[in-house]
A = this chain, B = another copy of it.
């Protein structure tokens, strides 16, 4: 018999008790990479530049290497990119989320709610 039970969850990673990565931050990183700009990446998820920059500073301080770097000046006036460490952090977050999801799905089906 097919169960109609399922579970959902939201995951956050902390570093030393401080929020480090969550789905919102990961999507912000992806949008910055997509647009090559913090301003436009933030706009894409309806976030202010100020808020986005605060989140990036928090993440950069907590990680071994910065996750986002600003590009300096030039004709196109700067921009930003997600570093290799940043791309790895995104991948690791999704990997962890997938593993927990698979476990949670299996355990949820075992319980007769």
Contacts and interface: CB of A to CB of B under 8 A. Distances in A.
Interface size for chain A: under 10, 10 to 19, 20 to 34, or 35 or more residues? Answer: 20 to 34
Given A113-B20, A113-B89, A96 B7 contact: yes
A9 B103 CA distance: 14
23 contacts: A4-B16, A5-B13, A5-B14, A6-B13, A6-B14, A7-B11, A7-B12, A7-B13, A7-B14, A7-B96, A8-B11, A8-B12, A8-B14, A9-B10, A10-B10, A15-B113, A21-B113, A92-B111, A92-B112, A92-B113, A96-B104, A96-B111, A100-B100
A-B pairs with lowest CB-CB distance, top 3: A4-B16, A8-B12, A9-B9
